[in-house]
Amino acid sequence: MADQLKVLFAAFEAEPFAKTGGLGDVCGSLPGALQKAGVDARVILPKFGTIPQEYRAAMTPVADFRVRLAWRDQYCGLETLTHRGVVFYFVDNEYYFKRDRLYGYDDDGERVAFFSKAVLECLAHMPGFFPRVLHCHDWHAALVPVYLRELYGGADKYRDIKTVFTIHNLKFQGVFSRFYLGDVLGLDGYPAAADQLAQFDAINYMRGGLNYADAITTVSPAYAEEIRTDFYGERAQDILNRRRNVLTGILNGIDSSAYDPAADTALYALYTADDLSGKAENKKRLQAELGLEVRDDTPLAILVSRLTEQKGLDLVVRILDELPGENMQLAVLGVGDKKYEDAFSHFAGKYPGKVAARLAFDERLSRKFYAGGDMILIPSLFEPCGLTQMIAMRYGTLPIVRETGGLKDSVTPYNQFTGAGTGFSFKNFNAHELLDTVRRAIQVYSGDRPAWERLMKNAMAADFSWNASAEKYTALYRGLLKA
């Protein structure tokens, strides 16, 4: 359709091609939901060396050309592949992208700058498609709005492009030496860019997206409010408050069909909200596999997470000596900082049959955890959106969360008077508040099983599909084009 809204996502990650976290989930799933909403949404990302060969072999070359990056003149190839009805474009440059991992190199600033410049050059080589909106994700694509306005804004077709910049995690901003401004970005002759990118004696790529984009979004409404404060603002709160009128929080979703206890082949037994007997079987089998006491009358709390400070694990460690004294068990699945791995290993050895720890990331085992657990601990210090609470609810496992970011937006606290709710929550980053909330959940599980079952069914009925997110993004895009 000639008048169909055309949107191009620019990102470093998109599942199933490249993923280290939630960014890959969003850019792999949201475009498909936008397609169903009538938007021609496509994605452009680097052609990483880590992309599975089955996808690399299916890519079709589109064009090759040169990209100027300061004094460098670099090769750029453009390839394409349609996956699940969505067109993906891949920026090819083996020097920058044929590596063993996505990030963590000394020249990441140069790699990101090349990608951002290449995105805009690629627009001239996409037959039948020219986006009206460029949707840029995290600091890896934050320079796209900068280059668009400073270097391409005078060109006829580029002049009317609108830009959206989405913050997935404000903590990671891409800060580099001020030397990069001229030697890497080629923007030393652009005083506005120099000013908008500056952070003390360095340059900050994310500030480019925050200052230049026509609209800014985050991955939950609560996080959009939080990042305007000193505690969560990561030194960007002044910009975010100045641009608060173009800042919106839109809650992420999950692929509901991919997390379905009635069809998930990783589970010990299948089940639905109408017949929860399979969930009891999953719990029994998981307890046995982990070496825990096989008991239905004891609630099993799970923790499925990267083991990092952000996830609030200090609170869990502080109360671990008290949890085995309660009528509950704890099973941990994850990998990360050594201090947390050591702590959970220690407590698993100290309390055999009550605490278990699997220090690895295993996708199939994680699904067994979601299906076999009664509750999941997510006491995050901060959480832009979070997906584990949504996944857990799909499997009828009730979240115990701290009220921050997307956790606050997606989990409704249990109301003992009305029976409403999908989990339990506490407000302050405090170990005693976490312990009190765990005890409250245990009390409901042990003392009022009908209420617990209602909560499970409420959680399983919650709609976290991408449809609602797609509707809100579509409205945002159309609003920008009318402005």
Query: Cβ(357)–Cβ(336) under 8 Å?
Result: no
Q: How crowded is residue 429: how many other Cβ atoms within 10 Å of its Cβ?
A: 16
Contacts of 274 (CB under 8 A, 6+ apart): none
Q: How crowded is residue 482: how many other Cβ atoms within 10 Å of its Cβ?
A: 6
Q: How crowded is residue 153: how many other Cβ atoms within 10 Å of its Cβ?
A: 11
Contacts of 42 (CB under 8 A, 6+ apart): 6, 7, 8, 9, 31, 86, 87, 88, 89, 129, 131
What is the rounded distance in angstroms from the CA atom of residue 268 to the CA atom of residue 21?
26
What is the rounded distance in angstroms from the CA atom of residue 143 to the CA atom of residue 314?
36
What is the Cα gyration radius of the chain? 24
The answer to the question of whether 171 is labelled as a binding residue is no
CA 177 to chain centre: 28
Instruction: Supply the DSSP string of 197-232, one letter for each residue.
Output: HEETTEEEHHHHHHHH-SEEEESSHHHHHHTTSTTT
E-only strand ranges, 98-139: 133-137
Q: Under DSSP, is residue 241 helix (H, G, I), strand (E, B) or coil? A: helix
Strand order in the sheet with 375-378: 355-358, 329-333, 300-304, 375-378, 398-402, 424-426
The upper half-sphere exposure of residue 413, i.e. CA atoms within 13 Å in the direction of its Cβ, equals 13
Annotated binding site: 19
Annotated binding site for ADP-alpha-D-glucose: 19
